[in-house]
Amino acid sequence: MSRAGDRAYVAIRNMILSGELPAGTQLGEEALAEKCGVSRTPVRDALRRLEADMLVVRTDTQRSFVAEWSLDDVRDAFDLRAMLESFAARRAAERMTPDSLARLRHANARIAQAIALPRPDIALFLEGNREFHAAILEVAGSRRLVAQLGALVEQPVVWRTAHHYGPDALHRSWSEHEELIAAFARGDGAWAQAIMASHILRAYHAYADAHRGMASQPSFGKARGEPAFALKAMA
């Protein structure tokens, strides 16, 4: 893909993930080209790539829309992520170095800092969380796992839902990371695999509970033009 195509892809993807382009929004190439500062051809290429990422759907009439995800769709993504990322955790435990372990501890310390505030800093939480899981994948050393998980890690949990997580749910995520670090420090692949699987699936149920609660509110979703599924990783 061209540099302009990459720029359009990143810009449109960020607009979808942030909720600026809500689920169900029609994506006009001309309007997007103007927003991204490129021609229509790079936008067309970017939309094809986003369609492969399952963030965009194309109709029989070749019109593109922001994809809408059902709860079943999200569960499928979590199930796949639990299988793949738990395997990555097992591999990482067998390959962990002191430097990589220090990186994991640093990432989880950032999460602890984010959730210790009177009003948790969700942006800092998400940043530390991404760093933590990315470090595990890096240590696992499998390009195929990285390729398979690349799409899933950005798709399981609604970004807006993160702002509805209570202190207990945020602390539980940090605590599970601490247990993963303990397994990695001991080189115990089976332990790390079991923790990661339960960590991902617990995150799904936390998401599902929050989503159902949000869906029952009159202000949720399309009633105010907000995204039903603007997707980011939380586990």
Q: What is the CATH number of the domain that holds 163?
A: 1.20.120.530
Q: Residue 58 forms beta bridges with which residues?
A: 64
If asked whether residues 120 and 224 sit together in one domain, one would say: yes
Q: What is the CATH number of the domain that holds 52?
A: 1.10.10.10
**Do 95 and 140 contact (CB within 8 A), yes or no?**
yes
Q: Which of 66, 98, 118 is at the close of a domain?
A: 66
pLDDT recorded at residue 213? 64
Q: Residue 157 forms beta bridges with which residues?
A: 232
If asked whether residues 146 and 174 sit together in one domain, one would say: yes
If asked whether residues 42 and 81 sit together in one domain, one would say: no
Q: Which residues contact 123 (CB under 8 A, 6 or more apart)?
A: none
**Do 74 and 156 contact (CB within 8 A), yes or no?**
yes
pLDDT recorded at residue 1? 53
If asked whether residues 80 and 164 sit together in one domain, one would say: yes
Domain count, the chain: 2
What would the DSSP string read from start to end of 1-20?
--HHHHHHHHHHHHHHHHTS
DSSP E strands: which ranges in the chain?
A: 56-58, 64-66, 157-158, 231-232
pLDDT recorded at residue 222? 44
Please state the pTM of the whole predicted model: 0.74
Q: Can you give the residue range of the structural domain that contains 58?
A: 3-66
Query: What is the pLDDT tens value at each position of the chain, 235 positions in all?
Result: 578 889 999 999 888 876 788 888 999 999 999 999 999 999 999 999 999 878 899 998 889 999 887 778 778 888 998 999 999 999 999 999 999 999 999 999 999 999 999 999 988 998 898 899 999 999 999 988 888 886 666 543 445 556 567 888 899 999 999 999 999 999 999 999 999 999 999 888 887 877 676 555 554 444 334 434 433 446 6
pLDDT recorded at residue 223? 39
If asked whether residues 112 and 182 sit together in one domain, one would say: yes
- CA contacts within 13 A on the Cβ side of 197: 11
If asked whether residues 8 and 102 sit together in one domain, one would say: no
If asked whether residues 124 and 202 sit together in one domain, one would say: yes
pLDDT recorded at residue 28? 94
If asked whether residues 219 and 155 sit together in one domain, one would say: yes
pLDDT recorded at residue 111? 96
If asked whether residues 192 and 94 sit together in one domain, one would say: yes
If asked whether residues 85 and 60 sit together in one domain, one would say: no
If asked whether residues 151 and 189 sit together in one domain, one would say: yes
If asked whether residues 45 and 58 sit together in one domain, one would say: yes
**Residue 192: CB atoms within 10 Å:** 27
pLDDT recorded at residue 153? 60
